[in-house]
Amino acid sequence: MLTTSMQKAINNQINDEFNAAYLYLSMSAYCESISMLGFASWLRKQSEEEVGHAMKLISYMNDQFSRVVLQQIYEPEKTFGSLTDMMEQALLHEQEISDAIYLLYGQAGEEEDCTTQNFLDWFIEEQLEEEKTVGDVVEQLRIYGETKSVLYEINKELGQRE
């Protein structure tokens, strides 16, 4: 079984993942409302991935005979300014999630909890990919600007996400 303090930390991480899912879903709804359907579809899949992350943590807690305690999900923002602003916010959010994972990893190290560290390796890899994926979109928007042709291309590309 995990220590009480590790259980609390993982429960907080579960909450962060659900909050991320809700934020991405809100961004997706916003993009639907402005007819940016490629962005909307990409963000919806991103939201589903975040739910997957929360579920992975929940399964780990259950496998460790630990107590999952769900917490309140916060009301996400509804409007996001420009698409660049929105994706910058998504990137910042991913960086915060990465920091939270690194803290968890550090805590597991202090507790000499090798099993949790080993489990968290997957999340560390995943965060690298998440930051890269969102960062690439931010970079394209920053470099090329939000012209109609740029938005058309990025929207099309994001809509192709499997």
Residues that bind ligand OFO (CB under 6 A): 17, 20, 50, 53, 94, 97, 127, 130
Biggest CA pair distance of the chain: 54
Closer to ligand OFO by CB, 105 or 151: give it: 105
Query: What is the C-alpha separation between 145 and 143, in angstroms, rounded?
Result: 6
Closer to ligand OFO by CB, 125 or 146: give it: 125
Closer to ligand OFO by CB, 17 or 88: give it: 17
Residue given tokens 């968890």 in the structure block: 104
CB of 20 to ligand OFO, least distance (A): 4
53 and 9 Cβ atoms separated by less than 8 Å: no
- Cβ contacts of 106 within 8 Å, gap of 6 or more: none
Query: What is the C-alpha separation between 13 and 55, in angstroms, rounded?
Result: 11
CB of 68 to ligand OFO, least distance (A): 17
25 and 48 Cβ atoms separated by less than 8 Å: no
CB of 61 to ligand OFO, least distance (A): 16
- Closest to 84 in 3D by CA, of 29, 148, 34, 146: 146
Closer to ligand OFO by CB, 49 or 111: give it: 49
Classify 162 as helix, strand or coil: coil
Closer to ligand OFO by CB, 117 or 153: give it: 117
CB of 154 to ligand OFO, least distance (A): 19
CB of 46 to ligand OFO, least distance (A): 7
